[in-house]
Amino acid sequence: MNGILNIIKDRALTYEQKIVSLARAAENTLSVLPISEEVQEYRREGILCDLNEGNAPYRPRYIVPDYERFMKQGSEFLRLKPAKDIWEATNNLLILYRHVPSVTTMPVYVGNLDTLLEPYIEDEEEAYKAVRLFLMHLDRTVTDSFCHANIGPGVTKAGRLILRAEKELQDAVPNLTIKYSKETPDEFALEAVETALVSAKPSFANHEMFVNDFGINYSIASCYNGLPIGGGSFTLARLVLARLAKQSNNAEHFLEEALPEAVSKMCEFMDQRIRFIVEESGFFESSFLVGESLIYKDRFTAMFGMVGLAECVNHLLGAAEQKDRFGHNDAANALGQRIVERIHQLVSEHNNQYCKATDGRFLLHAQVGIDTDYGISPGCRIPIGEEPEIYDHLLQSAPFHKYFPSGIGDVFSFDETVKRNPAYLLDIIKGGFSEGLRYISFYASDSDLIRITGYLVKKSDMKVLQQGGQALHDTVALGLGAVQNSRILERKVRHNG
Amino acid sequence: MAKALVNKILLFSSVDGPGNRTAIFFQGCNFNCLYCHNPETINRCTGCGLCLDACPAGALSSRNGTIEWDSASCIGCDACLEACPGKSSPKAVSMTVNDVMKTVEKVKPFISGITVSGGECTIQKEFLVELFEAVHKLGLTAYVDTNGYIDFSKEPELTFTMDKAMLDIKSYDEEEHKMLTGMSNAIVLKNAEYLANKQKLYEIRTVIVPGILDNHRNVAEVSRLIAELDADIRYKLIRFRPIGVYGDIKKVGIPSDELMAGLKKIAEENGCRYVTVV
């Protein structure tokens, strides 16, 4: 009970953060999931983890409502009529967001905002004011930067207004992705690059690749997770390869013994969580989102996360010198690919009756790490401090992206002088996508707002928190942990060449 | 097939023209600027061998009077450049157009084109023409970074195979230009006009050096010239930096933000639309 009293008395937590923490603590007093001793052992060793989802999941982790339908029909439960102008449209959306649950208690997806708002744009300056206030409202009330908006791939007036506002606001919320394809005009893409160089967003998603995996109705939610619209992901657990690798002294043992066993146990763990959400929690029988057809049970899937591939490979090869390590050595990179292929194969063989959106399969997710990870690199990324030159970096990374429909991406910090030549970055994005890259994020080295791993935090907010102050967004604490444990601020700055 | 002496190739560059470009630096220059920040590109290696002992990695050897460089064992410390008395580099490599194209093809998905620079790339102009034809076949553009000493009006092949030029006007004043570079600026100014009329001039650059050059006059005159020729030609004002330079000019300070802002204002007031300070 001390833990609960500590939450109540914690002066660095806002009132809202206390409530969320208390709810988590309450949930975690339960143990309703039948978890086997083998799974528990993996969890104790930190090899397998539920990423803070709690002991009794009472909603899917990531919910991706069909906002297009909501705009057309309004909501009976919320007593909202379809909007007639930009003020009603933004107001309706803000009301609905308050009632979209997720693991953070706040919405992780807020819609393809440009196409949602485009029909309501008449007077552009009035619309700009509405869009700007709407985005500011999101930042100050959805106090968690895993909240993600999408724009693109086509150019719209609303899309340009959103970029203009983000350039001015430079807020952490919402996270933002532009779906980029051949139909995205260069002019619009360049505006997006310019915006990203002052506000660390949008990131660029390879639209064609996502459409190939999901069809046109996909979203980018939370960090960078591809998920079906009108559904989402029941759960996301993760396998910490960096720690699992310690059970093996060579690649063969790892691939044939350690990995199959751990994947099998993690699937079992995920099955239990999904079963509880679907069969016991009552979520799908009680949420108005289901009743009003904004989400469907059969459009959900689940995400199988993995993290720390680089450290896993380096351990199995005993690679100490840079030239022998993952990211720099052909054999190390090839082993990395073999491991991911093996995970892909093992996970594909597993069937879960409730993951109907993906024919019973779990989707792979390159998890970006948590604040307490130490010496564990996100997903398949090359460790910070060991990054090669950008050309080699992109080519090393691209082959991994095809395995991860529900999210993978690289983050780059560019010297601020790149602002003078945004076409330079657009060329790099185009090249990366043509080489198979799925998702890319970047920011300028002089930016206060930066991408930690998959979410945005202001350096100035982390400083306040570090000095004992409060931060409005709960993700500031996660960012600070990652800065202290994962050297985020030492990410290689890409200078010319 | 033509061969050229290449000092180095930078796969990705954000500062050598529009978009991302592969920058190819050629060895050899016909100017000898006081403020040259890569003086090791000025002359060709004479094979004197003074760099051999300076190399801590054993990457240099001498055979029949020429210095051979082993890129695999080179650690990139540049001790050889410091030891060179002749403003040259033992690391320049003789390359065919095919050799260069192998690199360009590798990075093709990521770039808008190539920029040839130096040294002074136009000294090896026959090579450039062949290279640009090959580059164009890939759908990429070819830009030339030049000191403008070659008379482009007398080089139709080069002028018409290149997409655009980026031209240094280091000083508008003939005497000052000679003092700075050792050469006249008459052809440089003629080239500005000729290339602009042919729609082949992307950018003009001037390096600002406090106390050594009449910066205000240079910027005022060059910006007037740009406005008269085509106000859309970019004008880049480059701060002198004492990095890499040889001799007394090292002691000259970096131009202040105020000075650069004042010069930018002059250029804009004279009618230039795109003035950047770097």
pLDDT at B92: 93
Do B195 and B236 belong together in one domain? yes
- For residues B229 and B181, state if they share a domain: yes
Angle at the Cα of A400 (from A394 to A403), degrees rounded to 5?
A: 145
Chain A residue closest in CA terms to B11: A497
Both B239 and B257 in one domain: the answer is yes
Pairing of strands A231-240, A62-64: antiparallel
B136 and B101, same structural domain? yes
Same domain, B62 and B153: no
CATH number at residue B56: 3.30.70.20
Q: Which long-range contacts (CB under 8 A, 24 or more apart) does A368-372 make?
A: A368/A223, A368/A307, A368/A453, A368/A454, A369/A307, A369/A453, A369/A482, A369/A486, A370/A49, A370/A51, A370/A52, A370/A478, A370/A481, A371/A477, A371/A478, A371/A479, A371/A480, A371/A481, A371/A482, A371/A485, A372/A481, A372/A485
Q: In terms of domains, do B174 and B72 share one?
A: no
Alpha carbon of B187: minimum distance to chain A alpha carbons (Å): 30
Domain that holds residue B255: 3-40+93-277
How many Å apart are CA A168 and CA A199, to the nearest integer? 8
pLDDT value of residue B2: 83
Q: Which helix (H) or strand (E) holds A480?
A: helix A475-486
Q: Cis check for the bond before B119: say yes or no (omega within 30 of 0).
A: yes
Tell me: do B7 and B128 sit in the same domain.
yes
* Listed residue (B28, B24, B29) closest to B100, CA to CA: B24
| CA atoms of A159 and A70, how far apart (whole Å) | 20
* pLDDT given at position A497: 55
Q: Give the residue from B32, B65, B86 where a domain finishes.
A: B86
Residue A145, token pair as written in the block: 């930067």
Pick from B15, B110, B278: CB nearest A431? B110
For chain A, list residues whose CB is within 8 angstroms of any CB belonging to chain B: 389-391, 394, 417-418, 420-421, 423-428, 430-432, 434-435, 496-497
Question: Could you give the CA distance from residue A234 to residue A247 in angstroms, rounded to a whole number?
Answer: 30
Computed over every residue of chain A, the mean pLDDT equals: 96
Question: What's residue B245's pLDDT?
Answer: 85
| Mean pLDDT in residue range A415-442 | 97
pLDDT tens digits along B112-157: 999 999 899 999 999 999 999 999 999 999 999 999 999 999 999 9
At residue A118, the pLDDT reads 98
Instruction: Tell me how far apart the alpha carbons of residues B4 and B117 are, in angstroms, rounded to a whole number.
Output: 13
Is B19 in Cβ contact with A424 (below 8 Å)?
yes
The answer to whether B10 contacts chain A (CB < 8 Å) is: yes
Q: For residue range B237-260, list pLDDT tens digits in order.
A: 999 998 888 888 888 889 999 999
The model's confidence at residue A1, banded by pLDDT at 50, 70 and 90, is low
- Are residues B152 and B23 part of one domain? yes
Residue B23 touches partner A, C-beta closer than 8 Å: yes
Regarding whether B66 and B170 lie in a shared domain, the answer is no
Phi, psi (deg, nearest 5) at residue B258: -65, -45
Q: Are B169 and B131 in contact (CB under 8 A)?
A: no
Same domain, B123 and B150: yes
Give the DSSP letter string of A290-352: HHTTSS-GGGEEEEEEEE-HHHHHHHHHT--SGGGSTTT-HHHHHHHHHHHHHHHHHHHT---
Q: Write out chain A residues lying below 8 Å of B12, CB-based.
A: 389-391, 424, 428, 496-497
Chain A nearest-CA residue for B22: A497
Asked if B11 lies within 8 A of A497 by C-beta distance, the reply is: yes
Q: Is pLDDT above 90 for A341?
A: yes
The pLDDT > 90 percentage for chain B reads 90
Asked if B109's CB is within 8 angstroms of A434's CB, the reply is yes
The pLDDT, as a whole number, for residue A407 is 97
Count of structural domains within chain B: 2
Q: Which of residues B62, B86, B110 is at a domain's end?
A: B86
Check CB contact of B112 with chain A, cutoff 8 Å: yes
| Residues of B with Cβ-Cβ distance to A418 under 8 angstroms | 14
Crossing angle of helices A390-401 and A330-348, rounded to 10°: 20
Contact flag A427-B111 (C-beta cutoff 8 Å): yes
Decide if B18 and A423 are in contact by the 8 Å CB cutoff: yes
What confidence tens digit (pLDDT) does each residue in A97-119 have?
999 999 999 999 999 999 999 99
Q: Looking at the partner chain, which of A394, A418, A435 has a beta carbon nearest the beta carbon of B14?
A: A418
* Chain B residue nearest residue A186, CA to CA: B19
- Segment A173-188 shows an average pLDDT of 97
Q: What is the pLDDT of residues A373-416, one digit of tens each?
A: 999 999 999 999 999 999 999 999 999 999 999 999 999 999 99
Is B250 found in the same domain as B136?
yes
Question: Is residue A2 scored above 90 in pLDDT?
Answer: no
| Residue A219 near residue A52 (C-beta atoms within 8 A) | no
CA A429 to chain B, closest CA, distance in angstroms equals 8
Looking at residue B138, its pLDDT comes to 97
User: Two tokens at A141?
Assistant: 């009330």
pLDDT at A142 over 80: yes
Question: What is the ipTM for the molecules in this complex?
Answer: 0.92
**Mean pLDDT of chain B, nearest integer:** 95
- For B10, which of A424, A425, A497 is closest by C-beta distance? A497
Q: What are the pLDDT digits (tens) for B189-241? A: 999 999 999 999 999 999 999 999 999 999 999 999 999 999 999 999 999 99
Question: Do residue B80 and residue B107 come from a single domain?
Answer: no
The CATH number linked to B152 is: 3.20.20.70
pLDDT in tens, B19-37: 999 999 999 999 999 999 8
